[in-house]
Amino acid sequence: MNEAQLRQQMVDLARSMFERGYATGGAGNLSVKLPNGQFLATPTGSSFGRLVADELSVVDNTGAHISGKRPSKEVAFHLAIYEKDPECNAIVHLHSTYLTALSCLEGLDYSNAIKAFTPYYVMRIGELPVIPYYRPGTPEIAQELSKLAGKYRAFLLANHGPIITGTDFLDAVDNAEELEETAKLALLLADKPTRYLTDVEVEDLKGRGK
């Protein structure tokens, strides 16, 4: 896809997420790698429902603002992931209801916040490590992600929300939807005896694609 197509895709998919309740107000941010190696990102404070293709921000791999509106304050954590994960070409960060609720629970397993109980969670995400709470926009989030990026497809910021990667923007959005649905199911099942997938079942799903 060329830059114009990627801009339009970001506008269209962001609006679709907004209309289906994955994003509200000015929360969350998106980015995608451009053919020239720079990155397209959502402007800070922008609503997913009202992005304008020509106003999207462009930053380089050092975070320098190249064009468009002022970029998201979380651009540093997006760049930390791209740097460490060569398979990641797009990132979705949401404050979606169920994943954010999960991120606020006490006693979360920080090595993996959602133990596998459905195959698509394993095929699209696998494991969900938790990053300790830091104020939004602070460099510590990027530093923590830098240690984990490349080993996982998604991350949960404690008391904040999820970060989901993809091989392209459509893949990142599909992964985000699958993960939000999985969090919803996890919360529905929280007080019910659950049969988790066995280690053998999980291994059998890995590397089989989607």
Ligand X SMILES: O=C(CO)COP(=O)(O)O
Catalytically annotated residues: 74, 120
Q: Which of 20, 73, 147, 151 binds ligand X (CB under 6 A)?
A: 73
3-state secondary structure of 8: helix
Q: Which of 105, 96, 110 is nearest to 179 (CA)?
A: 96
Q: Which of 23, 22, 16, 64 is nearest to 45 (CA)?
A: 23
User: Is 150 a residue that touches ligand X (CB under 6 A)?
Assistant: no
Instruction: Please identify, using beta-carbon distances, which residue of 48 and 121 lies nearer to ligand X.
Output: 48
Q: Which of 7, 13, 74, 134 binds ligand X (CB under 6 A)?
A: 74
Interaxial angle between packed helices 3-19 and 169-188, expressed in degrees from 0 to 180 and rounded to the nearest 10: 20
Minimum distance of ligand X from residue 119's CB (angstroms): 30
Query: β-strand 130-131 against 154-157: which pairing, if any?
Result: parallel
Q: Which residues have a Cβ under 8 Å from the Cβ of 58 and sit 6 or more positions away?
A: 34, 38, 39, 40, 41, 65, 66, 67, 68
Minimum distance of ligand X from residue 196's CB (angstroms): 31
Q: Are 128 and 112 in contact (CB under 8 A)?
A: yes
User: Is 28 a residue that touches ligand X (CB under 6 A)?
Assistant: yes
- Where are the extended beta strands (E) located within 110-198? 130-131, 154-157, 161-166
Q: Which of 9, 72, 89, 175 binds ligand X (CB under 6 A)?
A: 72
| Rounded-to-integer distance, Cα 193 and Cα 196, Å | 9
Q: Which of 27, 148, 185, 205 binds ligand X (CB under 6 A)?
A: 27
| # binding residues, ligand X (CB under 6 A) | 12
Q: Which of 1, 15, 26, 181 binds ligand X (CB under 6 A)?
A: 26
Q: Are 91 and 165 in contact (CB under 8 A)?
A: yes
Instruction: Please identify, using beta-carbon distances, which residue of 102 and 122 lies nearer to ligand X.
Output: 102
Fill in the DSSP letter of residue 186.
H
Pick the piece of the chain touching ligand X (CB under 6 A) from 70-78, 83-91, 190-198, 202-210: 70-78
Minimum distance of ligand X from residue 95's CB (angstroms): 6
User: Is 31 a residue that touches ligand X (CB under 6 A)?
Assistant: no
User: Is 29 a residue that touches ligand X (CB under 6 A)?
Assistant: yes
Q: Which of 136, 148, 185, 205 binds ligand X (CB under 6 A)?
A: 136
Q: Which residues contribute to the site for ligand X (CB under 6 A)?
A: 26-29, 42, 44-45, 72-74, 93, 136
